[in-house]
Amino acid sequence: MPGLVVAGAQWGDEGKGRFVDYLASSADMVIRFQGGNNAGHTVVSDNKEYKLHLIPSGILYENKPCLIGNGVVIDPKSLFEEIDSLNERGIKTDNLFVSLRAHLVMPYHILLDGLSEKNLGKSGIGTTQKGIGPCYTDKIARKGIRICDLINEKEFASLLKKNIDEKNQQIVSVYKEKPLDFDEIYEEYSKYASRLKKMAVDTSLMAYKYLEGNKKLLFEGAQGMLLDIDFGTYPYVTSSHPTTGGVYSGIGLGPKAISEVVGVVKSYTTRVGKGPFTTELFGGIGDVIREKGHEYGTTTGRPRRCGWLDLVIINYSKRVNGLTSIALSRMDTLGGIGDVKVCTAYDIDGTITKDYPATVVEIEKAKPIYETFAGWDENLSNIREYKDLPKEARRYIEFIEEYTGIPVDMIGVGPGREECIVRKAYFK
C-alpha cells in the first residue's frame, strides 16, 4: 500500500508545495492532515503562481481527489475564497473533499488569537493570527464545532450559543473588547453550511478505500518539524503535528498506509515568527539570502529570518519523522554568495552535542559549530541532471547525505515545476 508523506524538516516554508505538486503527478490522491490556513504553499506551473493555504497542492491536476482530513482546522471563509479564486483561474475543485470531523475556525478564534498576541506583546509567539491555536485549544477542550455539527442546524445553534457566551466573557472582561454577535455569526456560517454539505465526507473511509484498491496516496504536511506542538521549539510552535505521526490521527489510517517519508529541506534555514534559531544570520549574508530568495511569508508577508543550514535539525527530523528521502530546495538561491556554511553540532556551555535540546533555554545557549564549503556561482536553473551541477554544489549535497545517511533524491534549482533534478522514481 504505497503512501508517501511530504514533511517540512525545518520551520516551514521549505518548498513542500512545489514538491507535492511534482509528486502529485504520479499519485492518485493528495491529502492534507493538519494545520489550517496558517500554511502557505506555493506552486509555480506554466509561469503561473498559485498560493495554497488549505487546499492540497495536488489540486492543479484534474481528476485526482484532494482531501482535507479531520486533523486540519478549517476557516470556511478562507476555504471558499481559495476555491473561488482557483475556479476563476480555470482550476476545477470538484474533486475537493473535507472531513465531516474537521473542526471549524470561528471568528472568535481569530479575534482571540490577535488579542492574545497583542496582550503578550514582546513575549508573543508571532502567530499568523488565523485563529489556529484557539481553534485547536477548543478541540482538545472538547468545545469545538466540527463540520458535521455545522451542517446539523439545531446542533450548530446550540454549540455556537454556548461558545459565544463563554468567549464573550473572555473578550469583554479580560480583553475589554466589544462582544461578538450570535446572529451575525450564525447567519454567516449557515451560508457556509450549505456549501460545505456538498463536499463533506468521511475522508478516512474515502482514503481507506483508495488504499485497499492499491492506489497511491500522497500526504501533504504543512508547517515543519520545529513547529510541531510536541517536538518543536515549544512554546514557539504551531498547535498541530506537522510530523509523520500527525498523518495517522489527521486522516484516520494505520501505519501501513505509509511506505516513504520525504523530508523537505531548504538548502539554508528560514523561520517566520518568534523563537530560537541557532544558525540565524543577522544582516550581511542573511539579508542577501532574504532579498535574493524573496524570503517573505506566503501567508502574512512577514520577512523570513534567514540562516545557514542546520544538520542537527535535519537529523532530529530524520528521527522523529522517519525520513527516507530528502527533497532539497533552493540550491539556486544559495549560489553566488561566496562560501557557504553548515552547522554540524552545538556547543552548549562547553558541551558538544548533535542532539536537539528540549528547552528553549538550552537552544538559546547553543553556539553553532560550522563546516565551511566553497560556494558556486553558476546559474543552476536549467540543470536537470545531477552530474551537471557544479562540483561545489555536489560536494554540499554529498555532505548532507553523508551526515544524515539519507539520499537527496530531489533538488530544486528554481521555483517552477520543471526546475528540479529528480534522482529516483517515487511510488514504485
Position of cell 518543536?
Answer: 232
Q: Exposed, middle or buried by CB within 10 Å (0-12, 13-18, 19+), for 274?
A: middle
Single residue of 298, 325, 333, 344 touching Mg ion by CB under 5 A:
298
Amino acid at 62: E
Single residue of 2, 5, 10, 13 touching ligand IMO by CB under 6 A:
13
∠ at Cα 212 (209, 214), nearest 5°? Answer: 115
Position of cell 511534482?
Answer: 22
Binding partner selected for residue 128 from ligand IMO, Mg ion, ligand GDP, none, CB under the kind-specific 5 to 8 Å limit: ligand IMO
In the range 312-371, which residues lie near ligand IMO by CB under 6 A? none
Q: Judge if the upstream peptide bond of residue 415 is cis by omega within 30 degrees of 0.
A: no
Q: Which stretch binds ligand IMO (CB under 6 A): 104-112, 220-228, 288-296, 341-349?
A: 220-228
φ, ψ at 293 (rounded to 5°)? -95, 5
107, containing H or E segment: helix 107-120
User: Which of 144, 415 has the CB closer to ligand GDP?
Assistant: 415
User: Which of 232, 368 has the CB closer to ligand GDP?
Assistant: 232
Q: Which stretch binds ligand IMO (CB under 6 A): 101-109, 129-137, 143-151, 284-292?
A: 129-137
User: Which of 72, 111 has the CB closer to ligand GDP?
Assistant: 72
Single residue of 10, 34, 37, 38 touching ligand IMO by CB under 6 A:
38
181 flagged as catalytic: no
Binding footprint of ligand IMO, residue count (CB under 6 A): 24
Single residue of 272, 281, 400, 406 touching ligand IMO by CB under 6 A:
272
Report in angstroms how near the CB of residue 129 gets to ligand IMO at its nearest.
7
Binding partner selected for residue 333 from ligand IMO, ligand GDP, Mg ion, none, CB under the kind-specific 5 to 8 Å limit: ligand GDP
- Alpha carbon 55 to its chain centroid, in Å, reads 12
Single residue of 130, 139, 216, 305 touching ligand IMO by CB under 6 A:
130
- If phi > 0 it is left, if psi is from -120 to 50 it is alpha, else beta; for residue 181 that is beta
Per-residue contact string for residues 229-268; x = within reach of ligand IMO by CB under 6 A = ---------xx-----------------------------
Binding partner selected for residue 133 from ligand IMO, ligand GDP, Mg ion, none, CB under the kind-specific 5 to 8 Å limit: ligand IMO
Report in angstroms how near the CB of residue 43 gets to ligand GDP at its nearest.
7
Contact at 8 Å (CB) between 393 and 411? no
41 flagged as catalytic: yes
Question: Minimal CA–CA distance to 5: which of 33, 26, 28, 25?
Answer: 33
Q: Exposed, middle or buried by CB within 10 Å (0-12, 13-18, 19+), for 372?
A: exposed
Q: CA–CA separation, 324 vs 410, rounded Å?
A: 12
Contact at 8 Å (CB) between 56 and 31? yes
103, containing H or E segment: strand 103-104
Amino acid at 359: T
Binding partner selected for residue 38 from ligand IMO, ligand GDP, Mg ion, none, CB under the kind-specific 5 to 8 Å limit: ligand IMO
Active-site option among 41, 103, 109, 241: 41
Single residue of 39, 225, 251, 257 touching ligand IMO by CB under 6 A:
39
Q: CA–CA separation, 18 vs 13, rounded Å?
A: 10
Report in angstroms how near the CB of residue 110 gets to ligand IMO at its nearest.
10
Single residue of 222, 327, 328, 411 touching ligand IMO by CB under 6 A:
222
Contact at 8 Å (CB) between 153 and 192? no
Q: CA–CA separation, 332 vs 374, rounded Å?
A: 15
Single residue of 15, 36, 40, 357 touching Mg ion by CB under 5 A:
40
Question: Minimal CA–CA distance to 395: which of 367, 372, 368, 427?
Answer: 372
Report in angstroms how near the CB of residue 59 gets to ligand IMO at its nearest.
15
Q: CA–CA separation, 6 vs 326, rounded Å?
A: 9
Binding partner selected for residue 415 from ligand GDP, Mg ion, ligand IMO, none, CB under the kind-specific 5 to 8 Å limit: ligand GDP
Q: CA–CA separation, 97 vs 64, rounded Å?
A: 11
Question: Minimal CA–CA distance to 219: which of 108, 85, 67?
Answer: 67
Question: Minimal CA–CA distance to 129: which of 13, 9, 1, 297?
Answer: 297
Can you give the binding site for ligand GDP, defined by CB under 6 A?
A: 8, 12-18, 40-42, 44, 298, 329-330, 332-333, 412-415
Active-site option among 13, 21, 28, 75: 13
Residues noted as catalytic:
13, 41
**Interacting residue ranges for Mg ion, rule: CB under 5 A:** 13, 40, 298
**Chain residues in the site for ligand IMO (CB under 6 A):** 8, 11-13, 38-41, 125-128, 130, 132-133, 222-224, 227, 238-239, 272-273, 298
